């Protein structure tokens, strides 16, 4: 081997990392990484000569909450893309998938946040070229992070573990994925890593070098890296505390407190010069040095703060999205891969214990390396505190938020694997991560965004129909076999579409289960191909067969019967009507047309086993479960009386006296009538195991407008009106209420 190559293995590692990250960059479709389209909107704003964004609460600007983020990454990416015409970005931004399911790794459709067209492919042009160049800027910053990890761990554990730990970090699939995304996470990770490298060097400096003059260059380097980290992302702010601790430790070791004013000057001055203008700008624009007030006004907040129990439950999401959860947290690994990651973590933890036992038995004290490691751990602890604070008020359970602590993660991995004293264990772990990360783009990411192909002929198991939808699409086949469903169960409806000519818009498909009262009992709305085959990309003559899985809600009203209703509409134009549908063969008994939908099939909705009407199992806190319900009618008119009967199952002693609320809400959640009353007997007198009938009756106001409604229900205490929470809020569309329905209010006088 050439001696120059042998002397610099880190260069080989960085080259491999760059190649892998570039592969992720090219294979991941545009804007299919977390928040990427909003990050790119900031880049495009700057590259277009419009300067840094000026945001406001509830902004409708394309950058969303990213408009108040630190500008370093955006300035770097904009400088690389300023020469590109990006004027058609607003049209691309408007192609957001209206049915996207971000943050839902359990979904099998609509994983894509954007609707993708052929113009995105190579050769890249316009915004797509600019995006890929911005991603390559991220790749370079990822290389900086890996290099900083190598230098930091080499200082503490030597070059062997430095290279192994850097390789383990470089080949974490999620780190590669984010390093290939247009995201400011890459800037803060890179410069936080460089800051920690210099902090580690300060902690390990010999005593003779600990003088104000001897440390001046080191302090200036720390100040520069810290200043760049601070304008990389707000999450770097606790790094100021780590730097302060490092300076304090240096002064203590040198027994010279003159080091502290020198550190304040030579660290603080470059840091302030690089980042101070940004904080001053925030104060002038928003009256807040951190622009936290405006940023928080543009992010989704939880209905109520997350409990500590809920916080612990979210650690699973953090774990998966640290190792590998792709797309907008919609494309996971198979479960066995996460089991492998947990096995690696188990090895690391056991290795820590082995090392700790040897350290105690050896009677070793805290040397400089231990103090350097402690500083790295302090940084991880501060990041964790910041994450806990934020995630309790807003959904933020993403592992990438810990990437600025990669030197600490690398140290923990190295110490854990080294604790086994098996020399091959570290390289084996890094090699396993390398193999996994190498196949991931082709095995996991690319297939998740591959559009289904058209078929040559209509499958034999479909019933042939001949209906025209709009001007250029035909409906050629349906699956019309009878189906029996219980609440919570799903079934797949198959429909065959054919393109008659060019289609100029991206239409959505609706598949509704319409019950005997004409109300929608279940529904699925999606772009064709699970979001990956937009109609504007269909070629004339293509035949596409699609399966749509529809789930009957757990709260569905039963017993009941219904039919499937299928059609197309333009989700980008909410006020536009559905595409007209005409059945070319009106004597076809398999289907009929009602309105702008093809109606077909027979569905029987049967209740699950239970002691009550409409048996369900929705658990509230304080041992209260809604076990069933009834409505006296589901079609009403203004002035009609609605009677809602709730059946509560008592799981155990109920501590408080609750009032039950039952409200009728329209599509905008405005209330049109309701009932609030204490159950009889009162809740503290409920006997565990019994079912309590709770009846509510109220009249609809005379001015109730026609439309679809739902019933909101729950329990609260008086006089504080503190609502009882649900144990599984996701099942009930809220943390402290359950929604039942639909009900329909017609126009005119009561029946």
Give 353-393 as a DSSP string.
HHHHHHHHHTT----HHHHHHHHHHHHHHHHHHHHHHHHTT
The structure's pTM equals: 0.91
- Per-residue H/E/C for 482-529: CEEECCCCEEEEEEEEEECCCCCCCCEEEEEEEECCCCEEEEEEECHH
In DSSP terms, 524 is beta-bridged to: 511
User: Are 390 and 396 spatial neighbours (Cβ–Cβ below 8 Å)?
Assistant: yes
* pLDDT of 668: 85
Q: pLDDT tens digit string along 576-589?
A: 889 999 988 766 66
User: Is residue 386 packed enough to be buried (19+ CB in 10 Å), middle (13-18) or exposed (0-12)?
Assistant: middle
Name the pLDDT band for 257 (thresholds 50, 70, 90): confident
Q: 3-class DSSP state for residue 468?
A: strand
* pLDDT of 3: 40
In DSSP terms, 515 is beta-bridged to: 562
d(CA 508, CA 530): 10
d(CA 390, CA 398): 12
pLDDT at 731 over 60: no
Rg (C-alpha) for the chain, rounded Å, is 30
* CA distances, 110 to each of 154, 320, 334, 448, 477 (Å): 44, 20, 19, 10, 23
* pLDDT of 214: 84
In DSSP terms, 251 is beta-bridged to: none
DSSP letter string, 675-708: EEE--SS-GGGPPTT-EEEEEEEEEPPTTPPSEE
H or E stretch at 47 = helix 36-47
d(CA 732, CA 726): 8
Neighbours of 7 (CB within 10 A): 10
* pLDDT of 2: 41
Q: pLDDT tens digit string along 446-466?
A: 999 999 999 999 999 999 999
User: Are 107 and 101 spatial neighbours (Cβ–Cβ below 8 Å)?
Assistant: yes
Q: pLDDT tens digit string along 684-723?
A: 999 999 999 999 999 999 989 999 999 999 999 988 888 8
* pLDDT of 611: 86
H or E stretch at 321 = helix 315-323
pLDDT (mean) for 524-528: 96
pLDDT (mean) for 191-207: 94
pLDDT (mean) for 321-330: 95
Name the pLDDT band for 6 (thresholds 50, 70, 90): very low
User: Are 299 and 255 spatial neighbours (Cβ–Cβ below 8 Å)?
Assistant: no
User: Is residue 725 packed enough to be buried (19+ CB in 10 Å), middle (13-18) or exposed (0-12)?
Assistant: buried
d(CA 417, CA 348): 5
Check residues 304 and 612 and name the one with the higher pLDDT: 612
For the chain, the 3-state helix, strand and coil shares in percent, each to the nearest 5, are: 45, 20, 35
User: Are 230 and 187 spatial neighbours (Cβ–Cβ below 8 Å)?
Assistant: no
Q: Tokens representing 71? A: 């500008």
Q: Are strands 508-515 and 520-526 parallel, antiparallel or unpaired?
A: antiparallel
pLDDT at 590 over 90: no
Omega within 30 of 0 (cis) for the link into 122: no
Residues in the chain: 751
- Per-residue H/E/C for 572-628: CCCCCCCCCEEECCCCCCCEEEECCEEEEEEEEECCCCCCCCCCCCEEECCCEEEEE
pLDDT at 348 over 70: yes
* pLDDT of 1: 39
Non-local (6+) Cβ contacts of 336 within 8 A are: none
Name the pLDDT band for 317 (thresholds 50, 70, 90): confident
* CA distances, 538 to each of 123, 271, 360, 371, 500 (Å): 21, 54, 69, 62, 10
Omega within 30 of 0 (cis) for the link into 679: no
Name the pLDDT band for 601 (thresholds 50, 70, 90): very high
Q: pLDDT tens digit string along 89-98?
A: 999 999 999 9
pLDDT at 730 over 80: no
Domains and CATH numbers, the chain: 12-299+315-446 (no CATH), 463-605 (2.60.40.2550), 618-745 (2.60.40.2550)
d(CA 334, CA 345): 18
User: Are 468 and 582 spatial neighbours (Cβ–Cβ below 8 Å)?
Assistant: yes
* pLDDT of 5: 40
Buried b (16+ CB within 10 A) or exposed e, 38-64: bbbbbbbbbbbeeebbebeeebebbbb
> How high is the mean pLDDT of the chain?
91
pLDDT (mean) for 506-535: 95
């Amino acid at each position: 081997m050439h001696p120059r190559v042998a002397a610099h293995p880190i260069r080989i590692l960085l080259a491999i990392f760059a190649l892998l990250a570039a592969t992720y960059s090219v294979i991941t479709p545009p804007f299919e990484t977390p928040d990427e389209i909003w990050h790119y909107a900031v880049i495009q704003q700057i590259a277009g000569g419009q300067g840094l964004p000026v945001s406001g609460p509830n902004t409708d600007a394309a950058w969303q909450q990213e408009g108040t983020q630190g500008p370093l990454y955006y300035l770097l990416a904009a400088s690389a893309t300023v020469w590109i015409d990006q004027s058609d970005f607003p049209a691309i931004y408007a192609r957001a998938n209206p049915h996207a399911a971000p943050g839902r790794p359990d979904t099998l459709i609509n994983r894509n946040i954007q609707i993708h067209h052929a113009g995105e492919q190579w050769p890249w042009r316009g915004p797509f070229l600019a995006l890929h160049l911005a991603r390559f800027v991220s790749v370079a910053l990822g290389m900086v992070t890996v290099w900083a990890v190598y230098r930091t761990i080499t200082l503490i554990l030597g070059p062997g573990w430095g290279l192994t730990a850097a390789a383990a970090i470089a080949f974490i699939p999620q780190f590669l994925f984010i390093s290939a995304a247009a995201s400011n996470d890459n800037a803060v990770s890179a410069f936080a890593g460089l800051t920690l490298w210099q902090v580690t060097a300060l902690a390990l400096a010999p005593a003779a070098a600990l003088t104000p003059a001897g440390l001046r260059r080191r302090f200036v380097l720390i100040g520069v890296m810290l200043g760049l980290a601070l304008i990389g992302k707000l999450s770097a702010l606790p790094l100021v505390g780590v730097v302060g601790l490092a300076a304090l430790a240096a002064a203590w070791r040198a027994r010279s407190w003159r080091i502290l004013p020198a550190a304040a000057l030579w660290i603080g001055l470059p840091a302030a010069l690089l980042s101070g203008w940004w904080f001053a700008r925030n104060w002038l624009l928003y009256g807040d040095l951190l622009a936290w007030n405006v940023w928080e006004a543009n992010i989704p907040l939880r209905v109520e703060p997350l409990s500590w129990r809920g916080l612990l439950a979210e650690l699973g999401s953090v774990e998966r999205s640290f190792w590998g959860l792709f797309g907008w947290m919609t494309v996971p690994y198979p479960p066995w891969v996460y089991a492998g990651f947990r096995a690696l973590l188990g090895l690391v933890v056991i290795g820590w214990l082995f090392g700790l036992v040897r350290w105690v038995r050896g009677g070793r004290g805290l040397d400089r390396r231990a103090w350097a490691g402690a500083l790295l751990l302090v940084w991880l602890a501060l990041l964790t505190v910041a994450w806990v604070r934020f995630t309790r008020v807003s959904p933020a359970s993403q592992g990438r938020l810990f990437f600025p602590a990669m030197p600490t993660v690398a140290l923990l991995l190295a110490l854990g694997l080294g604790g086994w004293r098996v020399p091959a264990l570290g390289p084996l772990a890094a090699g396993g991560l390398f193999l996994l990360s190498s196949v991931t783009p082709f095995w996991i990411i690319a297939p998740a965004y591959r559009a289904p192909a058209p078929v040559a002929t209509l499958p034999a198991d479909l019933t042939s129909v001949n209906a025209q939808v709009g001007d250029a699409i035909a409906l050629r086949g349906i699956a019309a076999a009878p189906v029996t469903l219980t609440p919570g169960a799903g079934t797949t409806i198959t429909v065959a579409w054919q393109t008659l000519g060019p289609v100029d818009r991206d239409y959505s498909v609706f598949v509704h289960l319409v019950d005997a009262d004409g109300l929608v009992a279940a529904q699925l709305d999606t772009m064709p191909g699970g979001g990956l085959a937009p109609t504007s990309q269909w070629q004339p003559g293509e035949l596409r067969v699609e399966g749509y899985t529809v789930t009957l809600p757990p709260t569905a009203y039963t017993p009941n019967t219904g039919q499937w209703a299928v059609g197309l509409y333009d989700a980008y134009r909410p006020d536009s009507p559905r595409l007209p549908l005409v059945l070319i063969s009106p004597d076809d008994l398999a289907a009929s047309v009602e309105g702008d939908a093809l109606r077909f099939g027979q569905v029987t909705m049967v209740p699950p086993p239970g002691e009550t009407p409409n048996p369900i199992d929705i658990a509230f806190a304080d041992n209260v479960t809604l076990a069933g319900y009834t409505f006296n009618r589901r079609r009403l008119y203004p002035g009609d009386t609605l009677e809602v009967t709730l059946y509560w199952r008592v799981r155990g002693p109920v501590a408080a006296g609750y009032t039950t609320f039952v409200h009728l809400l329209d599509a905008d959640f405005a209330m049109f009538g309701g009932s609030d009353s204490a159950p009889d007997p009162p809740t503290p007198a409920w006997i565990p195991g019994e079912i309590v009938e709770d009846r509510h009756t109220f009249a609809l106001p005379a001015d109730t407008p026609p439309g679809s409604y739902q019933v909101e229900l729950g329990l609260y205490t008086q006089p504080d009106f503190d609502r009882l929470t649900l144990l599984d809020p996701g099942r009930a569309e809220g943390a402290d209420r359950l929604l039942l329905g639909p009900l329909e209010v017609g126009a005119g006088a009561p029946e």
